[in-house]
Amino acid sequence: MDLRECAKIINSDFMGESFEVTKMNTLRDASKSEISFVANSKYIKDIQNSNAGAIIVDKQTKEFVPEGCIALVVESPYWEMATLSKYFAPPIEDATLAKPQIGEGTIVSPKAEIAKGAVIGKNCTIMAHVYIGANTQIGDNTILYPSVTIYRDCRIGSDCIIHANTTIGSDGFGFATNRLGEHRKIYQNGNVVVEDNVEIGSSTTIDRAVFGTTLIKHGVRIDNLVQVGHNCVIGEHSVLVAQAGISGSTTMGRNVVMGGQSATAGHLSIAPFTTMAARSGVTKSINQSGLTFAGFPLVEHKIWLKLQAKIARLIK
């Protein structure tokens, strides 16, 4: 889409030479042919290092846009980013793509549905009512149990097991809200990548990224009824137990363990080899490795045990 057309959609004027916009992206990852945005003052520091060809900003932020980058000035950058995201959403299914490719030895139930552009490796098992979306890639020796749904553009590695009714690549929970309290969808134009040797339980959901990738790294084990939000990174060999909830843009190191019904706030970092006991509530990043936590607000597990003992004595 031509930059002039983008500016027209969000009601913005701009100075400078137009160019062909290929997609939207974050400030850090955008290239010269891409549009980014700034909706929070804490990201102003990232503007100077951004390679974006154009950035959606408000009047207060315009002065930080570097020379050579075009400022698209609007009243509400987050709202207009949501507006523009619709125009860069790829088609849900694409009839122009090639027929699916099925590897040697792979068994596909006649009741499964595989969209055009999908590529499935060798010796996989695809059971009844599975849906595999356009441009999805699946490695070798992977098993998809009944009613697994994998949305477009996702990548599933080799030697994976995904249990019944799980959904990979559904839209992340993203929307902008205006002053009237109205909501506008932010189209989730990224994907999900599940690396090799990952097992995912039944009725789990892993949301696709807004931009970029939601990443489940090698050797992860995910239980039933787990929610992984958009743009999360789950480190190698981590374990997420039933009803755990990981809010968007949370990054976990390797071998993190989250007990049942534990949850994180968004945009956090969790150090490697961290353990959260059942029903833990993580509201701040954890920077020291190897610790075990419990409770809400989160405290080290040994302190939580002492607190519970003191409370128990008080009510006797």
Annotated catalytic residues are 230
Largest Cα–Cα distance of the chain, in whole Å? 76
Sheet order of strands, 70-73 included: 23-24, 34-37, 54-57, 70-73
Distance from CA of residue 106 to its chain's centroid? 29
CA gap 180, 184 in Å, rounded: 12
Q: 241-266 in b/e burial notation, b at 16+ Cβ within 10 A?
A: bbbbbbbbbbbbbbbbbbbbebbbee
Q: In this structure, what are the phi and psi dihedrals at residue 235, rounded to the nearest 5 degrees?
A: -70, 165
CA gap 171, 300 in Å, rounded: 34
With tokens 């787990």, the residue in question is 226
Beta bridge pairs of residue 122: none
Distance from CA of residue 101 to its chain's centroid? 27
Q: In this structure, what are the phi and psi dihedrals at residue 30, rounded to the nearest 5 degrees?
A: -70, 145
Is 271 within 8 Å of 253 (Cβ atoms)? yes
- Residue 279 DSSP code: T
